[in-house]
Amino acid sequence: MINSTDLKHNEYRLIFESLPGLYLILFPDLRIAAVSDSYLKATNTKRDEILGRGIFDVFPDNPSDPNADGVGNLYSSLLLVLKEKIPNTMAVQKYDVRRPESEGGGFEENIGAQ
């Protein structure tokens, strides 16, 4: 029987990255620690360009939308989780995703639970 101590770090990483869902792991200082392939595809990002960077540097509010509040809402939720050490479920958010320069740049509307 194989137990979890038999799996190496790299094997866990490969399993996590291939999970069929949008998953992101953050360090306590809100830098991106790990990301699933599905999350990368949904956000038009590349793993080597976002790992180790702050989540709000990678995913800022759309500067063209004066009503953008995704960063503030997510930041408040994450602070609550860090402070209280309890889960927090957010309502569905409008959180525009930056398009790569190769696709014309700017932001693309994205509505979903982040």
**What CATH number is given to the structural domain containing 27?**
3.30.450.20
Q: How many C-beta atoms surround the C-beta of residue 94 within 10 A? A: 16
Residues 71 and 114 in one domain: yes
pLDDT number for residue 114: 45
Show which of 34, 58, 82 is a domain's final residue.
58
114's tokens: 């982040």
**Band of residue 11 on the pLDDT scale cut at 50, 70, 90:** confident
**Pair (70, 48) in one structural domain:** no
Q: Which domain covers residue 13, as residue numbers?
A: 1-58
Are 3 and 52 in the same domain?
Answer: yes
98 band by pLDDT with thresholds 50, 70 and 90: confident
Domain count, the chain: 2
Spatial distance between the Cα atoms of 76 and 70, rounded to a whole number of angstroms: 10
Same domain as 110, residue 92: yes
pTM greater than 0.95: no
pLDDT band (50, 70, 90) for residue 80: very high
> From the centroid of its chain, how far is CA 85?
19
